[in-house]
Amino acid sequence: MNIRDIVARALAEDLGAGDVTTQALFPEAVPAVGTIVAEEHDGLVLAGLAVAVEVFRQVDPSLTCSPNATDGARIPHGTTVLTVTGDGRSLLKGERVALNFLQRLSGIATLTAQFCEAVKGFTVKIVDTRKTTPGLRALEKWAVTLGGGHNHRFGLGDGVLIKDNHLALTGGDVARACRLVAERAKRAPHGLKIEVEVRTLDETQAALDGGADIILLDNMDVPAIRKAVELIHGRAVTEASGGVTLATVREIAAAGPDYISVGALTHSAPTANLSMDIVPR
């Protein structure tokens, strides 16, 4: 994960034409101190502090950043997580980009922690998906781990996952698709696990017949998930997915899958509430 490049692109997007407001108001340096404060409820999981520091470093290397917390920590309401001192013009230039990263990533980490807490007591693991913001996948998946979750594939080359549209293009034969991938994967220099998406018990049996390593139970209701897990009986790893919410995840966990993948961790996480106050010094 190259934080420097990600931050540089974000700053170029925001400061490409310069900060005309700050330039007009302050022709000379203005000594100032800025504090970023957690305004969220006490369950906030901080993520992106290192990225925020990198933002201010790139805007103005003379700024002094003093973190008061660590990424992955649970932060009480009202906590100052970062203090930045130096030229107030530089603080103004970095404020929005730094907050954007902190609010987005902390939101993901906090929501992930809520899902993990909801399945406490079960051995199931909460995993993310590829439903991420283009260009920010590495950061967003990092935030998931800070919240206690686990990462699914980072990209299409990280593992075989035969989905509904793959099956549609191959005639819908689940077992045949698994065997075809298994045969061709033998030529690869690394051993890739074969995962296949199924929606019925018949397709679950076909996935077993085809030798799938992981069977993704997609959009099944809880009774169907339970029956599928019983049918598989440890012969493959099981993953439940599709429309999982905080209200339903514990019941799904009780049905016995090894993993529950939740797209909402990255595509629907609420923005965390952090703010920055800048005052002269």
H runs (alpha helix) in the chain: 3-15, 20-25, 49-59, 88-118, 137-146, 164-169, 174-185, 201-209, 222-232, 249-254, 264-267
Distance CA 239, CA 217 (A): 6
**Phi, psi angle pair for 31, to nearest 5°:** -60, 130
Token pair 């980009």 is found at 97
**Contacting residues for 105 by C-beta, under 8 A, at least 6 apart:** 47, 48, 51, 139, 140, 142, 143, 146
Active site residues: 96, 131, 163, 197, 218
Distance CA 168, CA 244 (A): 24
pLDDT at 189: 47
Tell me which DSSP letter residue 252 carries: H
Q: Degrees (nearest 5) of the Cα angle 108, 15, 279?
A: 75
User: Which of these, 189, 214, 217, lies nearest to 202 by C-alpha position?
Assistant: 217
C-beta atoms surrounding 176 within 10 Å: 15
C-beta atoms surrounding 18 within 10 Å: 9
Q: Which CATH class is domain 117-267?
A: alpha beta
Tens digits of per-residue pLDDT, 86-117?
999 999 999 999 999 999 999 999 999 999 99
For the chain, residues with pLDDT lower than 50 are 189
Token pair 């397709």 is found at 203
pLDDT at 91: 98
What are the extents of the domains in the chain?
A: 3-109+269-280, 117-267
Tens digits of per-residue pLDDT, 162-213?
999 999 999 999 999 999 888 876 555 456 789 999 999 999 999 999 999 9
What are the CA-CA distances from residue 170 to residues 113, 182, 208, 216 (Å)? 39, 15, 18, 18
By CB atoms closer than 10 A (0-12, 13-18, 19+), residue 249 is buried
What fold characterizes domain 3-109+269-280?
A: Aldehyde Oxidoreductase; domain 3 (3.90.1170)
Sheet with strand 274-280: strands edge to edge? 64-67, 80-87, 31-38, 274-280
Beta strands 214-218 and 194-198: pairing type? Answer: parallel
Establish whether domains 3-109+269-280 and 117-267 are of one fold: no
By CB atoms closer than 10 A (0-12, 13-18, 19+), residue 134 is exposed
C-beta atoms surrounding 165 within 10 Å: 9
